[in-house]
Structure 1
Amino acid sequence: MPQKRDVVFPAGRQALYERNRYSPAIRSNGFLFVSGQVGSREDGTPEPDLEAQVRRAFANLNAILAEAGCTFDDVVDVTVFLVDPASTFEKAWPVVMEYWGDAPHPTLTGIGVTWLYGFDFEIKVIAKLPESAGRQLA
């Protein structure tokens, strides 16, 4: 019998997930796999300003990490998606660094894209669950 997914679902983030039918994060084998987080408000609409959108994406990410008993310090792998990075990177990246923390840093893959469902920035991570947070479903 397949194992049921151990979903992490923070309060106030239902609109985007219900509309698009995916889990915010899944605990599995001591890791937390977090879906890409964008700078969406509670109703799922994007923050219009790029810097505010990046800050909101990190707030959304940090809410999921906290719900699972983690912080960004537990993140081991990051994928960042940026629409039109040639014109947006210099504005977005200093905001990312506000949340990045001290070395050693997680691994990073940056991908330039042409479309993100109306958003300009998305961050997807994998975090190592602390022993106390790494419960598994039977």
Structure 2
Amino acid sequence: MQADYTEYHFSPGFEAGGFLFIAGQIGLDENGDPPEDATEQARIAFTALGEVLGEAGLDFTDIVSLTSHHVGGVDRILEWFPKVKDEFIVEPFPAWTALGVTGLAIPGLVVEISAIAQR
């Protein structure tokens, strides 16, 4: 993620006041392309979220707030997103906000996930 820091001038994670603020993570495959399957994009994004947590010596149980941004109808995400989320997030469950958006930074992306973790 060093390239994002250098090129776009943002931190994947930033610690302040005992919290780690994690920038939105997206689901690009090994070729840098978004998979067509939304669940696969979400899994890749959660994996990237875990990498940022790990760099800070934290894990998914330290997340206190989770925000997911969804393209193409936030009303349909309950059919699939909670199942993927539950592969990574366990009790005690963090606060979760799901937002519908018209688009994300890279064409083809349908989900972006950000979080706040407590040290």
Equivalent position SS for 1:81: strand
Percent identity, aligned pairs only, is 38
Distance in 2 separating the partners of 1:48 and 1:19: 26
Deviates more, 1:68-77 or 1:17-26: 17-26
CA contact (8 A) 1:15 1:43 kept: no
Which runs of no fewer than 5 residues in structure 2 stay unpaired? none
Which runs of no fewer than 5 residues in structure 1 stay unpaired? 1-12, 130-138
TM-score (norm 2): 0.85
Q: How does 1:67-106 map to 2 (within 5 A)?
A: 67-84=55-72, 85-102=74-91, 104-106=92-94
Q: Deviations over 1:23-42 (max 9, x none)?
A: 10111111101001111246
Distance in 1 separating the partners of 2:111 and 2:62: 21
Q: Return the index of the structure with the highest Cα Rg.
A: 1
1:64 matches 2:52:
yes
Equivalent position SS for 1:23: coil
Distance in 2 separating the partners of 1:40 and 1:89: 22
Offset at residue 59 of structure 1 (A): 0.5
Residue of structure 1 in register with 2:99 after alignment: 111
Offset at residue 20 of structure 1 (A): 3.0
* Number of residue pairs matched by the alignment: 116
Residue of structure 2 in register with 1:132 after alignment: none
**Residue 46 and residue 20 in structure 1: after superposition, are their counterparts in 2 closer, same or farther (change >3 A)?**
farther
Give the AA of the match of 1:46: P
1:127 matches 2:96:
no
Offset at residue 92 of structure 1 (A): 2.7
Equivalent position SS for 2:87: helix
- Aligned-residue Cα RMSD (Å) equals 1.9
Q: Deviations over 1:55-85 (max 9, x none)?
A: 0001100000000000010011111111122
TM-score (norm 1): 0.74
